[in-house]
Chain A
Amino acid sequence: MTETKRIALERSAARRSDASDSPATAVKPRRSVSDRLFAIWGIIVLLFLFAPIIVILVYSFNTGRLLISFDGFGIEPFLTILNKPAIQSAVWVSIRAGVFSALFATAIGTFAGVAMARRPGKWVGWFLVLLVLVTVTPEIVDAVSLLPWVVFLGQDLGLTIFNDGIFRLVVGNSLFSIAVVSYIVRARLVGISASLEEASADLYAPPLRTFWRITLPLAMPAVLAGGLLSFTLSLDNTIIASFVSVSGTTPWPVYVLSAVRSGLRPEIASVSTLMLIVTLLSLAVVAWVLKRSGDSATQIARTMAGG
């Protein structure tokens, strides 16, 4: 279906460009007014989406004492980061927790997604109910539930790993990420017939090898997209993190949240600018990998949107 659709779309795009290129057929398309209105609206919305980011980028060069009042333009706030171990440690905690959460959630979620796509049965319904519950529960409810729970496990039951700051963050980040990865991987594999895996099994490949050599490569775009989403979701996780984090391992968003209460300084914008650049670079790498594996932009979006 996608193939024919792509051809149809390309044909219509070609038709459109034909009309604009050759003067012989330079009859103005009938829909140009509404087309233009749509384009104007789209650009206004894009500007709206970019407005606060541009503000943060500009204000990250604010030499004033407080973030909110712009004083002058300079790179001082970026230099201040070097003298602020609290900020550096917060960012480092976030990155570590993000990487561990992403690896963990991607592994567990991929297994669950493969199982749902390839071993359907009554259990899938129950599992989906659990995943939907995880997805619709507001983060604040997860947060207030996890706090007494990890305290209970760590202090009353003496499982000391639950007193570790990074581990607690990984637990908090993992819930939503596992659900997201499971959805994406399942959606990807449901759309691909299992014949290759069956062929591999018929040729006496043990199940594990079939999984590694056939199933996983087939699911790879979804696994990558899911991993990336988990990482960014974890970096973003403020609410759960602010409840479960242990003093000493404060992740970056929690640091910023406490700064909101005590007074925001320009360094916060500077760190955000640096992190935005890193995120964009990693996004570009993933998009490039997906593109090389043959997905169109629309398919990438579809994979990332979960179906």
Chain B
Amino acid sequence: MPKLRWPKATLALPAWVWLLAFFAAPVGLIIWYSFGYKPGIFGTHSNDILSLDRYAEALSPTFFATFSNTLWVGIVGTLICLVIGMPVAYWMAVKVPVSRRGLLLAAIMIPFWTNFLVRTIGWQIILSPQGWLSQGLEAIGVIDGPLEILYTRTAVLIGVVYNYLPLMILPLFVAFDRVGEPLREASKDLGAGRLHTFLRVTIPLARPGIIAGLLLVYIPLMGDYITATVLGGAKGNMAGQLVASQFQNAQNWALGAAMAVVLILTILISAAVLGLIIWLATLPFRSHYRLRLGSGS
């Protein structure tokens, strides 16, 4: 009897079909809409005449400011997450006894599994001018009047750093954990100092995790619109809010679609440029001998 085998990839067929039908097709439709126009007060879109005018409109000064603001929040927020998260991940993977690691990981993940919107509302309460933080800071004399952070870009920045920090810590933790004690000990036995070991052994080996963390934070952060809506008010506009308002309020689907495409392109291009910059900046730290972790052995 011949061995029965499933034909190649049949099992992936449902996923293929579903994702093409409810991801590729609708996004394709939106890209198509972005070349059209809004035909009148009551129409949402029309593709009778195709043009790139909506893209010009989306990048006009009014909206361009929002896109550059989004980029600023995205880059600064991701870097702050890295700076805050790296020592925490290193601490958890290297310094904390193995027995306590599970508890700490759970602690890092709990906020991540609380409703995103509700966590952000928590920050709205903390940062509000009548809140405890404001009163406390005023009482000890750090600030003169009530705290005036809510509904500014700073509040949005605090919110996004908070919301995406676990997504930075987890991959970094996994990466640092993978490097393992023996390699670090070996490096020290061979005479490298602690900083040297960190820069030449730990960081290069943890690089995939660092890159994963940066992407996991940067990409959703750039598309975020909840945090900006709850904490940003009018001043902290993000591109996601622009896209949403074209669909929900202005009913100009063509312009909203063009903005959505611009948002995706901004994310992809800026991620590529940032990757290049990081690659160039870390060249001096790269050792001549490539370190590689055996995988799966």
Contacts and interface: CB of A to CB of B under 8 A. Distances in A.
B39 interface: no
Interface of A: 1, 5-6, 8-10, 12-13, 16-17, 31, 35, 38-39, 41-42, 45-46, 48-53, 55-56, 59, 67-69, 108-109, 111-112, 114-116, 119, 121, 123-124, 127, 130-131, 133-149, 152, 171, 174-175, 178-179, 182, 190-191, 201-202, 204, 206-207, 232, 235-236, 238-239, 243, 252-253, 256-257, 260, 264, 268-269, 272, 275-276, 279-280, 283, 287, 296-298, 300-302, 304-305, 307
B26 A148 contact: yes
Interface string B1-27: 101111011111011101110111111
B276 to A, nearest CB: 18
A36 to B, nearest CB: 10
A253 B11 contact: no
A275 B101 contact: no
A233 to B, nearest CB: 10
Given A68-B128, A235-B115, A35 B9 contact: no
Interface stretch (B48-56, B138-146, B222-230, B277-285): B222-230
Contacts of A108: 14-15, 18
Contacts of A137: 23, 27, 223, 264
B122 A121 contact: no
B111 A9 contact: no
A147 B21 CA distance: 13
Given A42-B87, A144-B30, A207-B4, A182 B15 contact: yes
A45 B102 contact: no
Given A115-B9, A140-B225, A141-B263, A305 B18 contact: no
B223 A140 contact: yes
Contact of A123 (B9, B162, B297): B9
B181 interface: yes
Nearest to B180: A5
B219 interface: yes
A35 B181 contact: no
21 contacts: A13-B97, A38-B90, A56-B122, A67-B125, A108-B14, A130-B24, A136-B268, A137-B27, A138-B222, A138-B264, A141-B260, A144-B253, A175-B22, A175-B23, A236-B115, A268-B118, A296-B102, A297-B103, A298-B101, A301-B173, A307-B174
Given A12-B181, A53-B110, A55-B122, A141 B30 contact: yes
B264 A174 contact: no
B71 interface: no
A12 to B, nearest CB: 5
Interface residues of B, number: 103
B5 to A, nearest CB: 7
B95 A51 contact: no
Contact of B91 (A42, A146, A182): A42
Q: Which 3 A-B pairs have the closest CB atoms?
A: A138-B223, A52-B122, A297-B102
A269 to B, nearest CB: 8
Given A49-B111, A51-B122, A112-B11, A144 B90 contact: no
A144 B243 contact: yes
Given A253-B117, A256-B117, A138 B240 contact: yes
Interface string B55-68: 00000000000000
A42 B12 contact: no
A119 B114 contact: no
B43 interface: no
Interface in B184-204: 194
A172 B244 CA distance: 16
Interface in B102-140: 102-111, 113-126, 128, 130-131
Contact of B1 (A31, A55, A204): A204
Interface in B212-247: 215, 219-220, 222-226, 229-230, 240, 243-244, 247
A42 B88 contact: yes
Contacts of A12: 181
A268 B118 CA distance: 8
B15 to A, nearest CB: 4
Given A253-B115, A260-B230, A298-B101, 20 more contacts: A9-B180, A13-B97, A13-B98, A38-B90, A49-B165, A52-B121, A52-B162, A53-B122, A68-B124, A69-B130, A108-B18, A115-B12, A119-B8, A121-B8, A144-B253, A149-B29, A202-B3, A252-B115, A280-B110, A298-B102
Given A56-B118, A123-B9, A138-B264, A35 B223 contact: no
A276 B112 CA distance: 11
A130 to B, nearest CB: 6
Contacts of B248: 243
B128 A201 contact: no
Contacts of B117: 238, 253, 256-257, 260
A67 B121 contact: yes
B95 to A, nearest CB: 5
